[in-house]
Structure 1
Protein backbone atom coordinates (compact mmCIF):
# COMPACT_ATOMS: atom_id res chain seq x y z
CA UNK A 1 0.00 0.00 0.00
CA UNK A 2 2.90 2.38 0.76
CA UNK A 3 4.24 1.92 -2.77
CA UNK A 4 0.84 2.53 -4.31
CA UNK A 5 0.40 6.06 -2.92
CA UNK A 6 3.48 7.61 -4.68
CA UNK A 7 2.57 5.86 -7.93
CA UNK A 8 -1.01 7.15 -7.79
CA UNK A 9 0.26 10.62 -6.95
CA UNK A 10 2.56 10.62 -9.99
CA UNK A 11 -0.24 9.35 -12.22
CA UNK A 12 -2.55 12.08 -10.95
CA UNK A 13 0.07 14.74 -11.68
CA UNK A 14 0.78 13.29 -15.12
CA UNK A 15 -2.91 13.36 -15.98
CA UNK A 16 -2.84 17.16 -15.63
CA UNK A 17 -0.24 17.51 -18.39
CA UNK A 18 -1.39 18.65 -21.80
CA UNK A 19 0.22 19.67 -25.06
CA UNK A 20 -0.02 23.30 -26.01
CA UNK A 21 -2.43 23.79 -28.89
CA UNK A 22 -0.88 24.71 -32.19
CA UNK A 23 2.43 22.96 -31.56
CA UNK A 24 1.45 19.85 -33.52
CA UNK A 25 1.08 20.41 -37.25
CA UNK A 26 1.12 18.15 -40.33
CA UNK A 27 4.67 19.06 -41.34
CA UNK A 28 6.14 18.19 -37.93
CA UNK A 29 8.71 15.39 -37.60
CA UNK A 30 7.07 11.97 -37.51
CA UNK A 31 7.91 8.34 -36.86
CA UNK A 32 10.96 7.99 -39.13
CA UNK A 33 12.52 11.22 -37.91
CA UNK A 34 11.93 10.07 -34.33
CA UNK A 35 13.56 6.73 -35.11
CA UNK A 36 16.65 8.42 -36.55
CA UNK A 37 16.87 10.87 -33.67
CA UNK A 38 16.59 7.97 -31.24
CA UNK A 39 19.57 6.25 -32.90
CA UNK A 40 21.70 9.39 -32.69
CA UNK A 41 20.47 10.49 -29.24
CA UNK A 42 23.68 9.55 -27.36
CA UNK A 43 25.81 11.55 -29.81
CA UNK A 44 23.32 14.44 -29.78
CA UNK A 45 23.37 14.45 -25.97
CA UNK A 46 27.15 14.82 -25.86
CA UNK A 47 26.97 17.52 -28.53
CA UNK A 48 24.26 19.36 -26.59
CA UNK A 49 26.61 19.67 -23.62
CA UNK A 50 28.94 21.84 -25.71
CA UNK A 51 26.58 23.54 -28.19
CA UNK A 52 23.18 24.90 -27.16
CA UNK A 53 21.90 24.72 -30.74
CA UNK A 54 21.93 20.89 -30.66
CA UNK A 55 18.77 19.26 -29.30
CA UNK A 56 18.23 15.62 -28.41
CA UNK A 57 14.46 15.75 -28.98
CA UNK A 58 12.58 17.54 -31.78
CA UNK A 59 10.00 20.10 -30.72
CA UNK A 60 7.47 20.47 -32.24
CA UNK A 61 6.77 16.93 -33.37
CA UNK A 62 3.63 15.07 -34.40
CA UNK A 63 3.12 13.44 -31.01
CA UNK A 64 2.69 9.73 -30.42
CA UNK A 65 4.24 8.48 -33.67
CA UNK A 66 7.39 10.56 -33.17
CA UNK A 67 7.62 9.41 -29.55
CA UNK A 68 7.21 5.76 -30.58
CA UNK A 69 9.96 6.07 -33.18
CA UNK A 70 12.23 7.85 -30.70
CA UNK A 71 11.78 5.11 -28.08
CA UNK A 72 12.46 2.38 -30.63
CA UNK A 73 15.53 4.22 -31.88
CA UNK A 74 16.99 4.91 -28.47
CA UNK A 75 16.89 1.31 -27.39
CA UNK A 76 13.60 -0.35 -28.14
CA UNK A 77 15.30 -2.79 -30.50
CA UNK A 78 17.75 -3.78 -27.78
CA UNK A 79 15.13 -5.15 -25.40
CA UNK A 80 16.25 -8.60 -24.37
CA UNK A 81 19.80 -8.10 -25.69
CA UNK A 82 21.13 -8.79 -22.21
CA UNK A 83 19.96 -12.40 -22.47
CA UNK A 84 22.98 -14.14 -23.84
CA UNK A 85 24.39 -17.61 -23.48
CA UNK A 86 27.16 -18.00 -20.98
Structure 2
Protein backbone atom coordinates (compact mmCIF):
# COMPACT_ATOMS: atom_id res chain seq x y z
CA UNK A 1 0.00 0.00 0.00
CA UNK A 2 1.40 3.40 -0.93
CA UNK A 3 1.86 6.30 1.46
CA UNK A 4 -1.14 8.10 -0.01
CA UNK A 5 -3.27 4.99 0.43
CA UNK A 6 -2.25 4.69 4.08
CA UNK A 7 -3.04 8.35 4.74
CA UNK A 8 -6.45 8.01 3.10
CA UNK A 9 -7.17 4.81 5.04
CA UNK A 10 -6.18 6.45 8.34
CA UNK A 11 -8.31 9.50 7.53
CA UNK A 12 -11.31 7.32 6.66
CA UNK A 13 -10.89 5.36 9.89
CA UNK A 14 -10.66 8.57 11.93
CA UNK A 15 -13.78 9.94 10.25
CA UNK A 16 -15.65 6.70 10.87
CA UNK A 17 -14.69 6.64 14.55
CA UNK A 18 -15.45 10.33 15.08
CA UNK A 19 -18.96 9.81 13.69
CA UNK A 20 -19.68 7.76 16.82
CA UNK A 21 -18.61 10.51 19.22
CA UNK A 22 -21.26 12.42 21.12
CA UNK A 23 -21.49 14.56 24.21
CA UNK A 24 -23.98 13.90 26.97
CA UNK A 25 -26.41 16.82 27.27
CA UNK A 26 -26.06 16.80 31.06
CA UNK A 27 -22.42 17.91 30.73
CA UNK A 28 -23.31 21.01 28.66
CA UNK A 29 -24.50 24.10 30.48
CA UNK A 30 -25.25 27.63 29.31
CA UNK A 31 -25.04 29.25 32.75
CA UNK A 32 -22.95 32.45 32.81
CA UNK A 33 -20.23 31.01 35.08
CA UNK A 34 -19.78 27.79 33.04
CA UNK A 35 -16.33 27.38 31.43
CA UNK A 36 -16.31 28.36 27.76
CA UNK A 37 -13.74 28.90 25.03
CA UNK A 38 -11.16 30.85 27.06
CA UNK A 39 -11.25 28.42 29.97
CA UNK A 40 -10.95 25.55 27.50
CA UNK A 41 -7.90 27.26 25.99
CA UNK A 42 -6.35 27.61 29.45
CA UNK A 43 -7.20 24.06 30.49
CA UNK A 44 -5.69 22.72 27.26
CA UNK A 45 -2.51 24.73 27.81
CA UNK A 46 -2.01 23.44 31.36
CA UNK A 47 -3.09 19.90 30.46
CA UNK A 48 0.33 18.22 31.00
CA UNK A 49 0.65 19.62 34.52
CA UNK A 50 -3.01 18.93 35.35
CA UNK A 51 -2.65 15.34 34.19
CA UNK A 52 0.41 14.76 36.36
CA UNK A 53 -1.35 16.36 39.32
CA UNK A 54 -4.46 14.23 38.73
CA UNK A 55 -2.37 11.08 39.17
CA UNK A 56 -1.65 12.06 42.77
CA UNK A 57 -4.69 14.12 43.76
CA UNK A 58 -8.26 13.00 42.93
CA UNK A 59 -9.51 16.61 43.26
CA UNK A 60 -7.56 17.72 40.17
CA UNK A 61 -9.31 17.24 36.83
CA UNK A 62 -7.91 17.85 33.34
CA UNK A 63 -11.30 18.68 31.79
CA UNK A 64 -14.08 20.88 33.21
CA UNK A 65 -17.53 19.29 33.54
CA UNK A 66 -20.02 20.86 32.98
CA UNK A 67 -18.82 23.21 30.25
CA UNK A 68 -20.31 25.16 27.32
CA UNK A 69 -19.82 22.25 24.91
CA UNK A 70 -18.24 22.70 21.49
CA UNK A 71 -16.61 26.08 22.21
CA UNK A 72 -14.94 24.71 25.33
CA UNK A 73 -13.80 21.64 23.38
CA UNK A 74 -12.39 23.83 20.60
CA UNK A 75 -10.48 25.96 23.12
CA UNK A 76 -9.19 22.84 24.85
CA UNK A 77 -7.98 21.43 21.52
CA UNK A 78 -6.25 24.70 20.59
CA UNK A 79 -4.67 24.92 24.03
CA UNK A 80 -3.18 21.46 23.73
CA UNK A 81 -2.02 21.67 20.12
CA UNK A 82 -1.04 25.30 19.57
CA UNK A 83 -0.24 26.79 22.95
CA UNK A 84 1.01 23.51 24.40
CA UNK A 85 3.59 23.19 21.66
CA UNK A 86 2.07 20.15 19.96
CA UNK A 87 2.06 21.59 16.46
CA UNK A 88 5.23 23.64 16.98
CA UNK A 89 7.46 20.77 18.06
CA UNK A 90 5.92 18.35 15.59
CA UNK A 91 6.66 20.65 12.67
CA UNK A 92 10.39 21.05 13.33
CA UNK A 93 12.61 19.29 10.83
CA UNK A 94 15.98 18.00 11.84
CA UNK A 95 18.90 19.62 10.11
CA UNK A 96 21.36 16.90 9.27
CA UNK A 97 23.63 19.26 7.31
Normalising by structure 1, we get a TM-score of 0.71
**What is the CA RMSD across the aligned residues, in angstroms?**
3.0
| Mapped pair 1:58 → 2:70 | no
Structure having the larger proportion of residues in helix: 2
1:75 is displaced (CA, Å) by 2.1
Partner SS for 2:48: helix
| Mapped pair 1:41 → 2:38 | no
Deviations 1:51-85 (A, max 9, x none): 01101111111111111111111122442452577
Would you say how many aligned residue pairs link Structure 1 and Structure 2? 86
> Which 5+ residue runs of structure 2 have no aligned equivalent?
none
Partners of 2:15 and 2:93 lie apart in 1 by 31
Partner SS for 2:25: coil
Does structure 1 conserve the Cα–Cα contact (< 8 Å) formed by 2:43 and 2:62?
yes
